[in-house]
Amino acid sequence: MELKNYKLTIEYDGTNLHGWQVQPNGRTVQGDIESAFTEFSPEQKIVLIGSGRTDSGVHARGQIANIKLATKMLPDEIRKALNSKLENDIWISDCQIVDDDFHARFSAKEREYSYHITTQFSPITQRYEWWVKKDMDTDKLYKCAKIVIGDHDFTSFCKANAEVKHKRCIVFISEWEITKTGFIYHIKANRFLQHMVRFLVGTMVEVARGRMTIEDFEQFIHGLHSTLSVFRSPANGLFLERIIY
């Protein structure tokens, strides 16, 4: 049978998952989907390539992955077969055949994330929002968000041992939306570093709560701050929304 390249669109609730990448202990998105593939295609080597890693507790509405497979099954039959094997916190929403040179990670041009904050605690939404108890200065949030836009070295806003060649990212959209119960931060960039959105959001909130200044935030963006540290927001408010090719 001919080897074909399949593109998967994946949704998941990251609450009980140890992130995207396969781990020796604990469930992961990649691990669960690869195991599901193995059940109905045991004779093939299963290698699922994701558009990028998400951390433990982070959710996704539009994660993308690709896999090369030789099968007589139609794409929608693959989707249904996978969903029948997966637990209910992971869902394959689409499966389609793509060109052989399509690569979920390297073919991606832009990525979109959202981060959800609530100022009103709810046991129903606590898995999907960061509850910020103190008042925030909305104007400061807006000003910080504008500073993020552009081509910057985000060394200050990523995990110290991030395994990447460089830490420059081009941010196209960075804006806050006010909701009935809090705020949503929207960001689109060509690439993201590990923990980058969580560090940006956490530090912007520190500015909005008066614990840092806008000047402090701007110095972080330019890698000039030597006395303060950025603040990382919790994983539960972060959603990978969309990958653009």
Q: Give the SS3 label for residue 16.
A: helix
Q: Give the SS3 label for residue 69.
A: strand
The token duo for 84 is 């029948």
Pairing of strands 4-12, 130-131: unpaired
Q: Is 55 a catalytic residue?
A: yes
**Rama region for 91: left / alpha / beta (φ>0; ψ in -120 to 50; rest):** beta
- 162 band by pLDDT with thresholds 50, 70 and 90: low
**In the predicted model, is pLDDT for residue 164 greater than 90?**
no
Per-residue pLDDT tens over the stretch 25-40: 899 999 999 999 998 8
- Please compute, for residue 157, the number of CA atoms within 13 A of its CA located in the half-sphere on the CB side: 24
Can you give the pLDDT at residue 212?
95
Cα 208 from Cα 136, distance rounded (Å): 5
What residues pair up with 151 in beta bridges, in sequence order? 170
Can you give the pLDDT at residue 223?
81
Average per-residue pLDDT for the chain: 94
Amino acid symbol at 242: R
Domains of the chain, with CATH numbers? 4-98 (3.30.70.580), 110-244 (3.30.70.660)
- For 178, counting Cβ atoms within 10 Å of its Cβ (0-12 exposed, 13-18 middle, 19+ buried), the class is exposed
- 103 band by pLDDT with thresholds 50, 70 and 90: very high
- 228 band by pLDDT with thresholds 50, 70 and 90: confident
Tokens 């614990």 sit on residue: 211
Can you give the pLDDT at residue 163?
64
Residue 3 near residue 41 (C-beta atoms within 8 A):
no
Can you give the pLDDT at residue 44?
87
Q: Residues 125-138: what's their mean pLDDT?
A: 94
Supply the DSSP string of 197-228, one letter for each residue: HHHHHHHHHHHHTTSS-HHHHHHHHTT---S-
The token duo for 177 is 């939306």
Catalytic residue among 13, 55, 76, 94: 55
**In the predicted model, is pLDDT for residue 68 greater than 80?**
yes
Supply the DSSP string of 120-168, one letter for each residue: S--TTTTTTSEE--S---HHHHHHHHHHH-EEEE-GGGS-TT---S--E
Q: Residues 98-127: what's their mean pLDDT?
A: 97
